[in-house]
Amino acid sequence: MKTFPMFLKLEGRRVVIAGGGEQAAQKTRLMLKTEAEIVIAADTVEPELAALAARGRIRQQKGPVTCGTFRGAALVFICTGDALMDTALAGCAKTAGVVANVVDRPDLCDAFTPSLVDRDPVVVAIGTEGTAPVLGRQIKTRIEEMLEPRLGDLAALAGRLRDLVAERIPMKSRRAFWGWVFNGEPRLKHSRGAEREAARMIKEAIEAGGQPLERNEAGFVSLVGAGPGIRDLITLRGVQRLQEADIIFYDRLVDPDLLELARRDAERVYVGKEPGVPSWPQDRINGVIVAAAREGKRVVRLKSGDPGIFGRGAEEAESLQAAGIEWEIVPGVTAASAATASLDGFLTERGVTDAVVLTTGHTREGFAIQNWANHLHPGTTLALYMAIASSGRIQADMLAQGLPASLPVEIVSRAASPDQQIVRTRLERMAQDIEAAEVRNPAILLIRYPKDMAVEKPENAANAG
């Protein structure tokens, strides 16, 4: 190691930042996380810094920067924007005997700022000694995924309870007690937002002299939206649930890579439908989920997109409810959103479309017979799920119901994945173009009816006039 990581106490200590531009602002933001006294040594500062100085959060010191400016400082950042000046000031810092970071000049630095994962008071600092900043950022992203956003609050609570624990819980049991807090029910409850309940559990356990004996905990089921089928479009909360899960039931449309985010020893059960393989009827899926939860397992039901949109989530939730099992929904990016993003488009657009209809070409009864003209008014975007196979009938019905033949239609297959496919066409040629392009499932149709679309009058209407 050419550098050694340490956590510095900065409360009441002076940190000097030489420079008043964006780089200085960046370092200031970082230092504002601490309780340091921040001094900006610069004659002119950019507006963000000026505002902070006006509010008294930082102090601006005008006039020439000298060795005296740095003396006694806990840390010095040098970023004047002038290379010669930076070098001279690095010399001053050395003379003053302070630890200096010269922005973009690793050769002049005594110290580097790490990538931070901030769950104050839990802080993870990542450094690569300047060898591989991109790797540093990747590691940061992985750790961000691992640590739930509220973890710091739980650590702070533990800090406040430390003395009480020392008083009530015998030394030999303390490690197991904290293990339970951070690995057991309290952490789990806390990460799901039941913070008060977690705190109550911990306090009760302290009163009782130790954590409750292991009992067969009631299971818990998370219906998790996996997003459109690509690993980085699941939510952080979804990743968290995957990491907690004992067992995961997943679908055909879920990116297999996503399962790698789960614990190595978690069971993975495929419950999707594939051509040629006997498929899982919905009641069988409901049954195995309930059974796993009854065994006390933490269950994830991973569904493509958002669990609340054409995912049969309601049927699963109903059977959990009936079995008295606790459950929750973790939302996900639905196909309509992912596909629209792939088109660099917008589901709504001020003045053009101000309503979105999500519907399907396939319902429990089979082909969806719908009053399309009811859904598709000027100013509407219609997103059609599960509609590729029946696009011919949908097109015919829409035209028969008087919708304009020239409505723009966009078809996105495997949105957001590396082999995504986009077809742009018009209602009158929709089915033909879907066939010609050999559009594969999963694919979604987006039909836009802009407010001001010029629509040719149907011929008979013109004749009647």
CA angle 329, 335, 339 (to 5 degrees): 150
Nearer to ligand SAH, 249 or 310 (CB): 310
Catalytic residue, from 86, 153, 246, 251: name it: 251
- Distance, in Å, from the CA atom of 409 to the CA atom of 425, rounded to the nearest integer, reads 5
Nearer to ligand SAH, 202 or 253 (CB): 253
Other CB atoms within 10 Å distance of the CB of residue 453: 14
What are phi and psi for residue 107, nearest 5 degrees? -65, -25
Minimum gap (Å) between residue 252 Cβ and ligand SAH: 9
Cα-only R_g, the chain = 30
Give me the residues paired with residue 423 across strands: 411
First to last CA, the chain: 86
Nearer to ligand SAH, 169 or 386 (CB): 386
Number of residue whose CB is nearest ligand SAH:
305
Minimum gap (Å) between residue 413 Cβ and ligand SAH: 6
Nearer to ligand SAH, 103 or 383 (CB): 383
Annotated active-site residue 397? The verdict is no
- Distance, in Å, from the CA atom of 103 to the CA atom of 113, rounded to the nearest integer, reads 10
Nearer to ligand SAH, 14 or 414 (CB): 414
DSSP string for residues in 403-446: --TT-EEEEEESTTSTT-EEEEEEGGGHHHHHHHTTPPSSEEEE
The sign one gets for the Cα dihedral 337, 338, 341, 342 is negative
Nearer to ligand SAH, 31 or 446 (CB): 446
- Distance, in Å, from the CA atom of 134 to the CA atom of 144, rounded to the nearest integer, reads 15
Q: C-alpha 205: how far from its chain's center?
A: 33
Minimum gap (Å) between residue 448 Cβ and ligand SAH: 16
- Distance, in Å, from the CA atom of 87 to the CA atom of 43, rounded to the nearest integer, reads 18
Site residues for ligand SAH per CB under 6 A: 228-229, 253, 303-306, 309-311, 334-335, 338-339, 385-386, 412, 414-416, 441-444
- Distance, in Å, from the CA atom of 135 to the CA atom of 133, rounded to the nearest integer, reads 5
- Distance, in Å, from the CA atom of 260 to the CA atom of 243, rounded to the nearest integer, reads 9
Minimum gap (Å) between residue 358 Cβ and ligand SAH: 8
Catalytic residue, from 33, 273, 451, 457: name it: 273
Minimum gap (Å) between residue 365 Cβ and ligand SAH: 16
Minimum gap (Å) between residue 302 Cβ and ligand SAH: 11
Minimum gap (Å) between residue 443 Cβ and ligand SAH: 5
Q: Is 222 left (phi over 0), alpha (psi -120 to 50) or beta?
A: beta
Helices (H) and strands (E) in the chain, counts: 17, 19
Annotated active-site residue 251? The verdict is yes
Which residues are annotated as catalytic?
A: 251, 273
